[in-house]
Structure 1
Amino acid sequence: MTWEFTAELIEWRGPAPYVFAPLPVEVSNEVKEAARGLTYWGQIPVVATVGSTDFDTAMWPQHGRFLLPIKVAVQRAEHIDVGDIITAAVALRTGQ
């Protein structure tokens, strides 16, 4: 299953890359339910798409929703930065 959402990119003073797309709470809840058994340290492995760029990453919970890290390579490829509104899609990475 793939979830698509729109979000404003935010900066969070955590581990690099510092730029994240916060998932809406309702999407976060659906992903959390579907990811039972895939989580590690609260993180969920996903394949994400922003624009025409696909990438592997892991989302983690923050304030009742998940944050999708936007890698620097993705930021550069899609010409996006903090404050931009993006549409992203995520699918669980099951290793299959």
Structure 2
Amino acid sequence: MDVVFVSHVIEWRGPSPYFFVPVPEEQAADIRDVAAMATYGWGVVPVEARIGGTAFTTSLFPKDGGYLLPVKNAVRKPQGLASGDEVTVELSVRL
């Protein structure tokens, strides 16, 4: 399953700062439809994603009925991304 969306980078300031891109509700609903076939535990959904010229493999985190796409420094820094930046994400759920 493939989706493309535009969202903004957010920073989570927990014990260790981390950056995420929230999946918009429309695409989150589509992902929920196939999540049971893809998840390997705790509700996380394995995906392949692309932001700009950087492709990466990760898992979506469930949050408040939606999903957060984690954006590692190895992805964020080459793209020059900071909290609040708008990004286009290409995402494939790994079924």
Aligned counterpart, 1:42: 43
Cα pair 1:5 1:88 within 8 Å, conserved: yes
In 2, the alpha carbon distance for the partners of 1:22 and 1:89 equals 13
* Identity percentage of aligned residues: 39
In 2, the alpha carbon distance for the partners of 1:15 and 1:6 equals 28
In 2, the alpha carbon distance for the partners of 1:22 and 1:69 equals 9
Aligned counterpart, 1:30: 30
Q: Which has the higher helix share?
A: 2
Aligned: 1:82 with 2:91: no
Aligned counterpart, 1:58: 59
Structure 1 ranges of 4+ moved more than 2 A = 13-17
**What TM-score do the two structures reach when normalised by structure 2?**
0.89
1:16 positional shift: 5.5
In 2, the alpha carbon distance for the partners of 1:65 and 1:53 equals 24
Q: Where does structure 1 lack aligned partners over 5 or more consecutive residues?
A: none
Pick closer, same or farther for the CA change 1:76–1:43 going to 2, 3 Å.
same
Aligned counterpart, 2:8: 8
**What TM-score do the two structures reach when normalised by structure 1?**
0.88
Instruction: State how many pairs are aligned.
Output: 94
RMSD value, Cα: 1.6
SS at match of 2:13: coil
1:37 positional shift: 2.3
Q: Answer with 70-79 or 30-39: which moved more.
A: 30-39
1:36 positional shift: 2.0
Q: Where does structure 2 lack aligned partners over 5 or more consecutive residues?
A: none
